[in-house]
Amino acid sequence: MAVIYQKRKKLVTILLIIIFLALLFNIENLGSYLYPYHHQHVIEKYAAQNGVDPLLLAAIIKQESNFNPGARSPKGARGLMQIMPTTGDWIAQQLGMESFHPDQLYEVEPSIRMGAWYVSHLLKQFNGDLQAALAAYNGGQGNVRKWLAEKDWEENQLQTSEIPFPETRNFVARVMKNYKIYSYLYLEKP
């Protein structure tokens, strides 16, 4: 009985070593599995049109919907980029989209098109401050303007740790982490 136990233990150890080595030498494949880049051509198209890093859009989509176009938040945000119907209606007006319907937010192309434009808009509104733009994406532009006005941040830069809304603070931190991972995995390496 002890011999069988030792053989099993040895076999499990060997299998664990093989799995570890497979992961070690194939970490990028594991990374792309955990951090997919679905709809890459659509993301890159609208990122280019709006002057936004496509990997930032992928990081937002990862956090917002995990690339599920049918995602819906408890508050009613819809689609890949989790846009609220009222915000979607406003964005559609800015983009000159005729006959907008909130269900279009569940479609890949309109969701990414509108989300890319909105991220670009927020970056402009907050002078390129990525953390402020992300906070506004999640917590609203008015709230972020209020936070910036109430605090005396160096160069008026929003600090993630000082965002008053826990949900928004966590959203910004997670998107920033995702963005670093997407940049590591998908930037072309020399």
Which pLDDT score, from 0 to 100, does residue 21 have? 61
Residue 32's pLDDT is: 77
Catalytic option among 28, 44, 64, 188: 64
pLDDT for the residue 124 = 97
The separation between the first and the last C-alpha atoms of the chain, rounded to the nearest angstrom, is: 55
Quick one: what percent of the chain has pLDDT higher than 90?
68
Q: Given a cut of 90, is residue 133 above it in pLDDT?
A: yes
Which residues have C-beta within 8 Å of that of residue 130, sequence separation ≥ 6?
A: 56, 123, 176
64: annotated active-site residue = yes
Tell me the per-residue pLDDT of 144-176, one tens digit each, with 9 for 90 and over: 998 888 775 555 566 788 888 999 999 999 999
pTM over 0.75: yes
pLDDT at 28 over 90: no
Q: What pairs with residue 72 in β-bridges?
A: 78
Is the separation of the CB atoms in 139 and 126 below 8 Å?
Answer: no
Task: Report residue 8 as tokens.
Answer: 């099993």
Q: pLDDT band for 143, please (50, 70, 90 cuts).
A: very high
Q: How far apart are CA 134 and CA 157, in angstroms?
A: 12
Percentage of the residues of the chain whose pLDDT score is greater than 70: 86
pLDDT at 15: 76
pLDDT tens column, 82-102: 999 999 999 999 999 989 999
